[in-house]
Structure 1
C-alpha cells in the first residue's frame, strides 16, 4: 500500500462507519463478532502472528455503536430457546464506549510495547477474546448469554495476567483462575435460581430481575449475585487476585485488567440488582462492604513500592466506592443511582488505563525526560481524586447525593482525601521508577490520546447522564465541597512523605500471603482446583461428560413431554 492509500484509510473507515449507522443491529452484532472472530482465527499461526495489529481495528464497531446507536435498540441474534439478545441502554453504552476507547488506545500501545516479544501473537489472541467478552457483557440482555459473555471475559483475561510465564505470573494466573471458577459457581447458582421463576427457558435479564423481589429465594439469590460480582470487582476479602495479577501482567494487560475487566462486575450489579425496589438490608451490606474496601485499598496501597501495585490497590479502593454507591441506591430503591455509578466507573476506567500506560513510558525514560509524563500522571491522579475543574470532580459530584448526608456520605467524601494521598504515592513511585532505557517507538501517542479522553470525556457525558447542567458542578458550594478533601489529602501527603518512617511493603495479595498456614492451605486448594480443571478439560473426560449431559437432557426433555423423535 503506497502513502496515498494509507492516507485515505482513515477516511474510508469513517465513511464505512457512517454507512453502518443506518444498520444499528449490524453495529451491535459487529461489536462482539469482530473481536471474537479475530480471536478465534488466531488459532491459525498466520493470523496469530498479526493478532496484536488486528486488535487495533477490532474496537471500532463498539465505539461507533456506543456513540451513534440509539438507546433502547435491541437485536435478537438467535431465536428461542437460545435467545441471544443484545440491547443498548444508558449504562451499557457508557461502559461500552469507555471500554472501546481504552481497548483502541491500549491496542495501539500494546502493538508497540510487545513488538519484540516472541509470545506477542498469543497475547494478541487472549487480548482479542477478552475484548470480545468485555463488549458482550455490556450488551447482552438475556441471562444465559450474559453468563457466556461473563465467562469469556473472565477466563480469557487469564492469558493477560499469566503472559510472562514467570513463576510469579503462573502463581498469579492460577490464583486468578481459581477465584474465577469460584465466582462463576456463585453466579451460575444464582442465575439458575433467578431464572427458575420465569416462564421462558432463557428469560431476559429485566424480566427475571423484575420477579426477584417476590421470589421465595430472594435472599439466597442476592447473596450469590453479590458474591460473584464482588469477586470480579475486587471487593474485600475477595480482592487479592487483583494486585497479584496487575503486578505481573504486561503494562497494557494491566490497563485492561484494571480498567475494563473489573467493570464486568459493575455491569453485573447494575443488570441484576432490582432498580426502583428498596432492599435496605442487602443495600446496607453492599454499602458497608464497599466503604471498607475503599479504605482498605488505600491503606495497603500506601505501603507499595511499585507504581503498578499502588494502582492495583487504588482500583480495589475505587471499586469499593462504586459498590457503596450501588448499595446506597439499592437501599433507597433509587434507580437513578445505577447509571450514575456507571458514569463514575467509566471515569475510573479511562483514568486508570492512562495511569497504567504511563508506567510503561516512565520506566523507559530518563528522569529528566520523564518530567512531562509525571506532570500528566499527577493530573490524572488528581482528577481521580476529584480535583475541582477536572472530569473526576464531575464524577464525584454526580454520585454525591446518592449516599445522602449521613455517615455513608461523609465516608465517601473523605475517601477522596485517601485517594489523593495514594495518587501522590503513585507519582512518587513513578518518578523513582524512571530509568535510562530507550522506549519502544509508538507508546507516547496512544497514551496521550487516552489521557486526553480520560480528562475530557466526563465533561461531554455529565449533562446527558445526570440531567443536570454542567454549570451546577462549578457553583461555589460544589467547588468547595470537592476541594477540601483533595487539599486534606495533599497536606497529609506532604506531612507523611517528609516525616513518616519508611513503611514496610505489604506483599501483593496481602491476606493470602499474610495468612501463614492458612495461606498455604489456600494455595494447595487453589492448586487442586487448577489440576482438576486441567483433568476435566482432557478430551476423554470432557467427551464422556458431554455424552452424559446429552443423555440427561434427552431424558429430561422426554419426561417433560417434549416431542423428541416423534
Structure 2
C-alpha cells in the first residue's frame, strides 16, 4: 500500500477533508455567512472518489496512528450514494433553512456529521474507523437538537445517551480486537481475520452487534429514531434516516467475518433482524405523523439488512458485504427522497407529486421494475428456500402495508408550503437517482443479468407480497384512527431507564480505564473526538444569526 498522493489518493483524502476544511472556515465571519450556500459542494470529492477511485488506497501516517483510506466496492457504492444525497439535500437545506436564525450553526453540525459519515466508507484501520464513527455519531446530535424545543431536547438527549452507549460497546470490542496484534493500530481486515479463533470471539461479536445495532436502530435499540425525526429539520431527517443509520451497516460489513461461516451468530442476527422488521411495521401503522411512520419504516428496513448480513454470516458467503451494501444503497436513496418529499408533497399536493411519492414508497416494498425489486432479488439466494426466505418475503407485505399507511397520513398532513425549484429540484434529483442508480449497479453488485429479473416467475414473486399488503390495508383503512395509539418511540421507557444506567456506566468506565489503556491509540482518538465536538459546540453556541449577505 502506497502513501503517494496520486489522483485516487487525493480524492480519498478530499472526501472527508473538504467538509472538515469548510467547517474550519466557519471560524471567520465571511465564510460563515456563505456556509449554507456552499453545503451542496462539500461532498463532491466523495462523489468523484466513488466514481473514479474504487480500488484506491492511501496511508496518511505511520503506526501506531496509521490512518489508512481504501475504497472497495461496498464502500464505493455507499460513499457515492451518501455523497449524492448529502449534495442534493444540501441544496434543499439552503432553501429550506434560508430564514432560520441558527442556520450557520446547523451548517456546522451538518458538515461535521458529513465528514464523519463519508470517512466511514473509506477508512481501513481500526483507529480511523473508531474516530470516523464517533464523529458521525456524536455530531448528529446537533441536527436532532437544532430546533431547541422541549421535544427536540428530549429526543437529542436520548439520542446522545444511546450514541455514547454504542461508543462504549464498540470501544471495548476494538480494544479486544487490537490486543495481541503486531501493531498498535491494526488494519480492520487483519483484526477481523483473527476473530473466528479468538478466545474472546463471543464477547467481541456481542459488543460489535450491540454497538452497530444501536446506530442501525434494531429493536429494542431503535427508540431514538421515531423521536428524532419529527423534531429534526426535513433535510436533517433525510440525512439521519438515509445516511447516518448506514454507519451501523458499514460497521457490520467491515467487522463480521463472513468467510468464517459463524452459523450461530448469523442465526441470532437473522432473528433480531426479522423481529425488528415486523415489530416496526406493527408499531408504525398506529402512528399519525408521516415522518414518524417513515422512521418506523427505516427501522423495519434496517431489520431486513441485518437479516441479510446474518444469513450471509451463517452461510460463510464472502459476497454478503457487497449484497448488503447494494440493498443499503437502495434504501439510502429512496428514504432520502421520501423525507425530502414530505416537505413538498404533504396535504393537497399536486397529482404528479403524489404519484412520485407513491412510486418511491412502494419501491421500498419491492414494486416490480423499481430499485426495491432489484435489491430484494439480489439478496434472495442468501436465505435459501426455507421459512427464513418466506419471512423475508412477507416483510415486503409489511412494508407495503406501512407505506400505504404513510401515503394516507401524508395526504392528511397539513399542506406543505408551496415549493419552488430550490426544493423541487433536489427532491426530484434524489428520487430519480433512487430509481436509476441501482439499475446501473445491479449486474456488478449482484452477479445477475437484467434478464433474470424480467421472468414471469421473478415478477410474480415480487408482486404477490404487495397485493397481500394492499389487501391487509383495506381493513386498516376502515378502522381509520381507531387503532390504539402507541407513543412515538414506543419503548422510550427503556431510553429513560438508560439515563441512570449511563451514570453508573461512567463509574464503571473508571474501573475499565486501566484495561483500555492496553490500546494506547484509544486515548489519542478520544481526545481528538472531544476536541472536534467541542469546537463544533462552541461554534454552534457562539454563532448568532448569520451576518446578512
What TM-score, normalized by structure 1, do the two folds share? 0.87
Asked whether 1:490 is paired with 2:474, we answer no
Which structure is richer in relative contact order (CA contacts within 8 A, separation 6 or more)?
2
Asked whether 1:41 is paired with 2:41, we answer no
Question: Quick check: 2:270–2:311 contact (8 Å CA) kept in 1?
Answer: yes
1:434 and 1:40 map into 2 onto residues whose CA distance is 39
Matches within 5 A, 1:119-130: 119-130=102-113
Question: Quick check: 2:258–2:313 contact (8 Å CA) kept in 1?
Answer: yes
Asked whether 1:225 is paired with 2:208, we answer yes
Pick aligned residue for 1:156 from 126, 132, 139: 139
> Alpha carbons of 1:83 and 1:414: their partners in 2 closer, same or farther (altered >3 Å)?
same
Secondary structure at the counterpart of residue 139 of structure 1? coil
Asked whether 1:213 is paired with 2:196, we answer yes
- Give the corresponding residue for 1:286: 269
- Structure 1: gaps (5+ residues): 1-20, 537-545, 557-566
Matches within 5 A, 1:482-521: 482-499=462-479, 502-512=482-492, 515=493, 521=497
Question: Quick check: 2:161–2:498 contact (8 Å CA) kept in 1?
Answer: no
Question: What's the offset of the Cα at 1:459?
Answer: 0.7
How many pairs does the alignment contain? Answer: 511
Question: Quick check: 1:48–1:122 contact (8 Å CA) kept in 2?
Answer: no
Question: Quick check: 1:362–1:433 contact (8 Å CA) kept in 2?
Answer: no
Asked whether 1:408 is paired with 2:410, we answer no
Question: What's the offset of the Cα at 1:268?
Answer: 0.2
Asked whether 1:259 is paired with 2:242, we answer yes
Question: What's the offset of the Cα at 1:525?
Answer: 4.9
- Give the corresponding residue for 1:4: none
Question: What's the offset of the Cα at 1:553?
Answer: 7.1
1:154 and 1:146 map into 2 onto residues whose CA distance is 12
Matches within 5 A, 1:335-346: 335-346=318-329
Asked whether 1:418 is paired with 2:403, we answer no
RMSD, aligned α-carbons: 2.3
Asked whether 1:457 is paired with 2:437, we answer yes
Question: Quick check: 2:166–2:214 contact (8 Å CA) kept in 1?
Answer: yes
1:53 and 1:382 map into 2 onto residues whose CA distance is 33
2:442 and 2:81 map into 1 onto residues whose CA distance is 14
- Give the corresponding residue for 2:283: 300
Pick aligned residue for 2:455 from 475, 478, 484: 475
Matches within 5 A, 1:232-381: 232-363=215-346, 367=348, 369-381=349-361
Secondary structure at the counterpart of residue 322 of structure 2? helix
User: Of the two, which has the highest radius of gyration?
Assistant: 1
Asked whether 1:60 is paired with 2:44, we answer yes
> Alpha carbons of 1:127 and 1:355: their partners in 2 closer, same or farther (altered >3 Å)?
same
Secondary structure at the counterpart of residue 259 of structure 2? coil
1:135 and 1:260 map into 2 onto residues whose CA distance is 9
- Give the corresponding residue for 2:363: 383
- Give the corresponding residue for 1:445: 425
Asked whether 1:146 is paired with 2:129, we answer yes
Pick aligned residue for 2:375 from 395, 398, 401: 395
Question: What's the offset of the Cα at 1:441?
Answer: 5.4
> Alpha carbons of 1:488 and 1:47: their partners in 2 closer, same or farther (altered >3 Å)?
same
Secondary structure at the counterpart of residue 504 of structure 1? coil
- Give the corresponding residue for 2:187: 204
Question: Quick check: 1:274–1:330 contact (8 Å CA) kept in 2?
Answer: yes
